[in-house]
Amino acid sequence: MFSGSQIVAELQNLGITHVVWLPDSTLGQWEEALSSASEIKLVRVCREGEAWAIAMGLSLGGARPLVMIQCTGLFDSGDSLRNALYDFGVPLFAVIGYRSALNKAANDSARTFTEPNLKSWGLDYRLIDAPEKLPELAAHYAVCREAQKPGVVLIAEGKM
Amino acid sequence: MSRMSLVESLQVLHGLRRPDQVVLSTMAAAREWMKLGTHPLDFIYAPSAMGEAPALGLGMALARPDRQVIVLNGDGCMLMNLGVLVTITAAAPANFVLIVCDNSVYEVTGRQSTAAAEGARPPDTAVDFCRIARGCGFAATCEFERIEEWQAAAPQVLAARGPTFVLLKVASIPGGEVPRSPAPPVERASAFAEALRQSS
């Protein structure tokens, strides 16, 4: 739906300093653009829970991180995001790949549980499921940053 | 050989700690580190997401390459997320020191053995944390069981270019409790961030 250069341009406009990520097949197509962006450092993790803790450390150190993972990694992230966002109140922001969101016929439990999972964590999210919705990434980030609250943008995945 | 005491091992670090160093501690190490005093660049990771202290410290180290970040982790915590060793060496922060205080038990829940504890495994299958760290790409790894050895080597260990991995074989403490947050965590996070900002 989006090219790496489109995403990098959005993130650079937001002042993002670090993208802490574990890619899926959609997000992974942005790797070259992200890793070559001069103002963004790409931090590769081995499991998604690490991403929230690293982003918390970056944030406490004065950087402006963004977590970028797939929804399956969100499921794996529970205790780490709980601690960062709610124990220590660090308002992190994440871009999360929403597996099978565009394949309504797909029997994929990852799609079934993604939005209920975000709601259970009390995370304010926006769904980007069409190319013209890309500006919602910046808009939602700005709202969350102004309110000092965590936020998520879901990137719908699958065939359009 | 009897293991060094956790408290004595932390006293060595406390004696060497420079004002500009960040010390992040969790579990038993956090509980005992707090008793040695307070410092604006101490981050007591309690409550914690068990296993995430090295990742949290990595983030701090990447944000502030001008500050050495020392993480005091437990062996049970380390086992929860061995993959972070690879994450750390991929990012390669020269200002990062990971100290694992290995007492071979889950101390705060009543001293149950970890899966890596010698008595909980078949013979001749010992888990070697330093070999794991070396295999993950840590350039500097070291292990100490006697307090005199740690005391003698600590200045050089902390002066080495990181990322550095240190294993301290320590005795568990009977009745050791879960560390409690010394103040509301949200307030502490803000105060720490401000102290780190002002330490420029």
- Split into its structural domains, chain A has a count of 1
> Residue A59 belongs to what domain range?
4-107+134-156
Tokens (6 digits) for B50: 């068990």
> Three-state SS string across chain B, please?
CCCEEHHHHHHHHHHHCCCCCEEEECHHHHHHHHHCCCCCCEEECCCCCCCCHHHHHHHHHHHCCCCCEEEEEEHHHHHHCCHHHHHHHHHCCCCEEEEEEECCEEHHHCCEECCCCHHHCCCCCCCCHHHHHHHCCCCEEEEECCHHHHHHHHHHHHHCCCCEEEEEEEECCCCCCCCCCCCCHHHHHHHHHHHHHHCC
Which residues of A fall within a CB distance of 8 Å from B48?
83
**What pLDDT, in 10s, does the model give residues A55-69?**
999 999 999 999 999
Q: Find the CB nearest A89 among B55, B59, B189.
A: B189
What residues contact residue A116 under an 8 Å CB cut-off, 6+ apart? none
The alpha carbon of B37 is separated from its chain's Cα centroid by a whole number of angstroms, namely 17
Inter-chain residue contact A50 with B55, CB threshold 8 Å:
yes
Confidence of residue B2 (pLDDT cuts 50, 70, 90): confident
Give a yes or no: residue A58 inside a domain: yes
What is the structure's pLDDT at B142? 97
Mean pLDDT on A141-156: 98
Give percent of chain B with pLDDT exceeding 90: 94
What is the structure's pLDDT at A160? 58
Q: How far is A111 from chain B (nearest CA, A)?
A: 26
- pTM (2 d.p.): 0.97
Q: What is the H or E stretch that residue A43 is in?
A: strand A41-44
For residues A10 and A136, what is the distance between their CA atoms, to the nearest angstrom?
Answer: 10
pLDDT(B170) > 90 = yes
Q: How far is A57 from chain B (nearest CA, A)?
A: 4
Mean pLDDT on A67-72: 98
Is residue B4 classed exposed, middle or buried when 0-12, 13-18 and 19+ CB atoms within 10 A define those classes?
A: buried
Residue ranges of E strands in A99-138: 124-128
pLDDT(A104) > 90 = no
Which residues of A fall within a CB distance of 8 Å from B189?
60, 88-90
Whether the complex's predicted ipTM is more than 0.90 is answered with: yes
Position with higher pLDDT, B174 vs A88: A88
Sign of the alpha-carbon dihedral angle for A139, A142, A146, A151: positive
Mean pLDDT on B137-153: 96
Domain range summary for chain B, segments of one domain joined by +: 4-195
What residues contact residue A46 under an 8 Å CB cut-off, 6+ apart? A22, B83, B84, B86, B87
Q: Please state at what angle helix B6-16 crosses helix B147-159, rounded to 10 degrees.
A: 40
What is the structure's pLDDT at B139? 87
What residues contact residue A37 under an 8 Å CB cut-off, 6+ apart? A8, A11, A12
Inter-chain residue contact A57 with B52, CB threshold 8 Å:
no
pLDDT(A106) > 80 = yes
Inter-chain residue contact A63 with B62, CB threshold 8 Å:
yes
Mean pLDDT on B188-192: 98
CATH code for the domain of A21? 3.40.50.970
- A/B interface, count of CB pairs below 8 Å: 114
Confidence of residue B1 (pLDDT cuts 50, 70, 90): low
Q: Which of B26, B62, B86 to mutate to test the interface with A (most CBs of A within 10 A)?
A: B62
**What pLDDT, in 10s, does the model give residues B71-81?**
999 999 999 99
CATH topology of domain B4-195: Rossmann fold (3.40.50)
Tokens (6 digits) for A110: 């990852």
Confidence of residue B200 (pLDDT cuts 50, 70, 90): confident
Chain A interface residues facing chain B, Cβ-Cβ under 8 Å? 18, 20, 41, 43-47, 49-63, 65, 79-80, 82-84, 87-90
Position with higher pLDDT, B98 vs A107: B98
Mean pLDDT on A138-143: 98
